[in-house]
Structure 1
């Protein structure tokens, strides 16, 4: 409806994951990534904000910060794990930046957050993929995260 703010669905943890993927994307394309500054910027100006008429849910800032910081600090190890789940003819460098950020965030949660059930991690990041892509990419995210879960949580 024109002129009215529309509230986006999802809870604080879902909002944290979506924000974390966006922050990891920003870090990944930055010439001079500064994790604490990006985290602070997102918490102050983006998470829970109204953007283009959409009111976003307040995010779980603790989870958001943990995913961004943890995934960025462990990106080399996470990328190696992700690489092992891709088809031989699909190098990591071929991934679109946002898909790469989704995989890093999901891989981080699967390896470092045993308190979050595997199915929740996979479903949440498939939902994040749906926010940016069509069905094919979301299915790709599901398949890779499922493979990652089998090694990270075996």
Structure 2
């Protein structure tokens, strides 16, 4: 399911950075890389759910990033946290610990040297709040 989460991150990143249409961005990624049907559904659930709950997710993230605004955060980190944050806060069909582990792997791949530690710290706090 990592690939599905990675797709979701990439689409949210495009929406965030260039105001891309999420459906078109998703379809474009599917043309470039194959993704199993069930993973396509899961990925789209993450995308649409994250976007539908974006304000709540960002507000939650903001409670843990007190030294600066969420918009000053790295766009990579912000969108990885948004996808995993959606899973933690709203998506009942997955395990939050797995979502965090997958987010860390995506952060290692796309972020900078501090991304994984930063993403982990925020998501651990979010998980603690939902328990």
Say if 1:130 and 1:36 are closer, same or farther in 2 by CA, change over 3 A.
same
TM-score (norm 1): 0.77
Residues of 2 paired with 1:106 and 1:46: CA distance?
A: 24
Determine which structure has the larger helix proportion and give its number: 2
Contact 1:17 1:64 in 2 (8 A): yes
Question: 5+ residue gaps in structure 1?
Answer: 1-12, 49-57
The question of 1:20 aligning with 2:4 is answered no
Residues of 2 paired with 1:82 and 1:36: CA distance?
A: 25
Residues of 2 paired with 1:39 and 1:148: CA distance?
A: 27
Question: 5+ residue gaps in structure 2?
Answer: none
TM-score (norm 2): 0.89
What's the RMSD between the two structures over aligned residues? 1.5
Q: How does 1:1-154 map to 2 (within 5 A)?
A: 13-31=1-19, 33-43=20-30, 45-48=31-34, 58-59=35-36, 60-86=39-65, 88-151=66-129, 153-154=130-131
Ranges of 4+ aligned residues in structure 1 off by more than 4 Å: none
Contact 2:7 2:26 in 1 (8 A): no
Aligned length: 129
Larger radius of gyration: 1
Contact 1:78 1:107 in 2 (8 A): yes
